[in-house]
A and B are shown apart, each in its own frame.
Chain A
Amino acid sequence: MKIINHKQFRPVDFHNHVSGKNGKLDRENAKSVNEAVAALGIDKACVSCPLNSDSPTPDEFHASNDVVFEAMTFSKRFLGFCFVNPGYARESLAEIERCVVRGGMIGVKLYHQYFICDPALQPVMEYAAELGIPVLMHAGKLTDSGAKFQPRLSNAGHFLKATEMFPQTILVQGHIGGGGDWEWNLRTLEALSRSSKYYLDTSGSVIDAGMIQKTVAILGTERVLFATDMSFEEGVGKVLDAGLSEKQLQKIFSDNYYKILSERRV
């Protein structure tokens, strides 16, 4: 078998997860994730512990972020993302301050409680812009009957609006391969302003041939972030199969992450 050696790029997985068990880090799961990351030569993995209920309370997202803190202690490979429910604006800002400013997490993770372009997100988005940290959101364009279970799932159209509403915030659309019509997302993104602070991550179990190649063709190498979202071999393999140059692979696997990190002001 012929596989490109990707370890030279010191990959950073921008979208991954740990989970909680009885209010604590599920250490067995964290060990598995850490071993998987290490086995594939991934240098760092951004992890979060989002809640998919309709409206998680501040106590719930606080506890969820405590699990991420445990993970950051568990392995130096893990970089934390702070999950909040923007419906609780004041509490979300306090939580970001606790996790990012004082706790050293590197970004904000949002799930499907609101669309990315919902005005309710304004306080969180403005605070993230002030701190110079990215906001990563669960996203997709589902076309099957399962779509009804995620009625506020953001797609590329929502992200286009968000780039206009929150132009100073670094926005990351989650998993182009997370299941759904990725071609619809990519064609929609052709309307993206060149100046917007928009990124897309490559994660998810979908490994359709040509998906990453088209992503790079439409967005350019600078806006694409390597990620797995627990689909490890899929995550690495589909980027390696995209027919990219070493320079492009270096940017996607690692450099784009460090570029985002360089904007941090805390």
Chain B
Amino acid sequence: MLFDINTATGHWPFRRIPNQTITELKRLLKSKGVTGAAVVNTNGLFYQNCHDANVELAKAIDPHRDYFAGVAVLNPLFPAWERDLENCAGKLGLKALRLVPQYHNYRLDSPGVLAIVKKAAILKLPVFIPHRVVDVRGRHWMDTEQTVNLHEVGALCHAAPEAKVVFTEASVNPEELVDKRGRRHYPNLYFEISRWHSVMGQHVKQMVKMIGYDHILFGSGAPFKEITPALLKLQHAALNSKAMNAIACQNAVRILRLS
């Protein structure tokens, strides 16, 4: 079993992304051996009223609920987010919340962010935060250059210890995650592996050593990014089968509360 925690559907306005519909994405993921995926709607980055993207997503994945777990996108500075979040967790059946301060023009320490993260925790929705959506070195002139760093995400984790936060598209130094006695700075922070390395330096293995395999998830970044690089990172991670299975699938099933 292989569950991809980091996939997307919907339109990206700055470059043509192949396989951006749900059916195309599913076909692509299955062709690589991926057996399930968490999916966000990229449209939610750009709509003023981004909850419309959640409604779109729920409708799109309805025929594929056995494969996709939907991830909501909400803006804590936009009216009625609390009602929208309850709707996402309830009627729409979405399994996580994604915050994108880079695209919704706020910072993680802005008023309102803590409230939405705490509300997500009450609804048992993990909160996904991407370091970036695309590599900003080649940004379109209308796209953002802002990224989110570990310390911003870490501060939010401290402020809402009851929340589960997944930092996606992030490359971090494992040593920044523990203190001198080996205790984790952010026990409620999870990561996906798409920007880590295995064959050079065994970054995945180091991360497992620092924060435990139960806090690491397989993710590819499809369809923005090719999938095989992430597969190779998992394949070449020097891990035992228990850790491998947890990262490949079981951790995602647990934090998304999938059956």
Our verdict on whether A and B bind, yes or no, reads yes
A interface with B by C-beta (< 8 Å): 1-4, 32-33, 35-36, 39-40, 140-146, 179-183, 205-210, 212, 230, 232-234, 236-238, 240-241
Report the separation of the CA atoms of residues A256 and B16 in the bound assembly, to the nearest whole angstrom: 29
Smallest CB gap from A183: residue in B: B15
Name the prevailing secondary structure of the B interface residues.
loop
**Given known A2-B32, A3-B232, A179-B135, contact A241–B200 (CB-CB < 8 A):** no
B138 near A39 (CB under 8 angstroms)? no
Interface residues in B184-207 by Cβ distance below 8 A to A read 195, 197-201
B232 near A2 (CB under 8 angstroms)? no
Interface centre among A145, A206, A212, A232 (most CB of B within 10 A): A232
Instruction: List B contacts of A240 (CB < 8 A).
Output: 228
B138 near A179 (CB under 8 angstroms)? yes
Instruction: List B contacts of A40 (CB < 8 A).
Output: 199, 232, 236
Instruction: List B contacts of A39 (CB < 8 A).
Output: 199, 236
Interface residues in B118-166 by Cβ distance below 8 A to A read 134-141, 145
Instruction: List A contacts of B197 (CB < 8 A).
Output: 232-233
Smallest CB gap from A206: residue in B: B135
Smallest CB gap from A234: residue in B: B229
B199 near A36 (CB under 8 angstroms)? yes
Complex A-B, nearest 4 residue pairs according to Cβ-Cβ distance, in ascending order: A237-B229, A237-B228, A179-B137, A241-B226
A33 near B231 (CB under 8 angstroms)? no
B interface with A by C-beta (< 8 Å): 2, 15-19, 31-34, 134-141, 145, 195, 197-201, 221-236
Report the separation of the CA atoms of residues A236 and B134 in the bound assembly, to the nearest whole angstrom: 20
A2 near B199 (CB under 8 angstroms)? no
Q: Which of A35, A142, A238 contacts B138 (CB 8 A)?
A: A142
Instruction: List B contacts of A210 (CB < 8 A).
Output: 16-18
Nearest CB of chain A from residue B254's CB, rounded to whole Å: 20
Instruction: List B contacts of A238 (CB < 8 A).
Output: 226, 228-229
Instruction: List A contacts of B227 (CB < 8 A).
Output: 237, 241
Report the separation of the CA atoms of residues A183 and B14 in the bound assembly, to the nearest whole angstrom: 11
Report the separation of the CA atoms of residues A2 and B27 in the bound assembly, to the nearest whole angstrom: 13
B199 near A232 (CB under 8 angstroms)? yes
A207 near B226 (CB under 8 angstroms)? yes
Nearest CB of chain A from residue B23's CB, rounded to whole Å: 16
**Given known A1-B2, A180-B138, A183-B15, contact A209–B231 (CB-CB < 8 A):** no
Interface centre among A40, A146, A237 (most CB of B within 10 A): A237
